[in-house]
Amino acid sequence: MPRAKFQTLTEPMYYILLSLTESCCGVDIMDRVSELSNGRVSVGPGTLYALLGRFEKDQIIKEIDRDGRKRTYQLTDEGKKLLKEEYLRLVTLMEEGKEIMEGLE
């Protein structure tokens, strides 16, 4: 059960999964994460490699192509569900805090 294992995704995990909503080569994910987060989040290559391994093992992502050492990954249906749940969780957090936070200004 991926959801049980990844109760809440860390920022790098969230952005890696966001990057893989479209197929993407493993080594390019680092750039993609940086782009998506406007350079705010960066994932180290060691961390990325380890996380991809864990995601693949838990069937959150799958390898869809291999060209020599280049591996292309994409989210699985399970992964999409997990990402969506996390997105909704973040939206809920934001909405629940919105009124109070706007009142603070």
List of residues contacting another protein (CB under 8 A): 10, 12, 26-28, 30, 42-51, 69, 71
Minimum CB distance to another protein smaller for 49 or for 93: 49
- Report, in Å, the least distance between residue 5 CB and another protein: 13
Nearby residues of 90 by Cβ (< 8 Å), 6 or more positions away = none
| Residue 39 three-state SS | coil
Minimum CB distance to another protein smaller for 27 or for 94: 27
- Report, in Å, the least distance between residue 62 CB and another protein: 16
Minimum CB distance to another protein smaller for 46 or for 103: 46
In angstroms, the Cα distances linking 46 to 42, 51, 76, 77 are: 12, 9, 23, 26
- Report, in Å, the least distance between residue 10 CB and another protein: 7
Minimum CB distance to another protein smaller for 72 or for 81: 72
Residue 3: which of 84, 71, 105 has the closest Cα?
Answer: 84
Residue 3: which of 56, 81, 73 has the closest Cα?
Answer: 81
- Report, in Å, the least distance between residue 59 CB and another protein: 19
Helix pair 29-36, 45-57: axis angle to 10 deg: 100
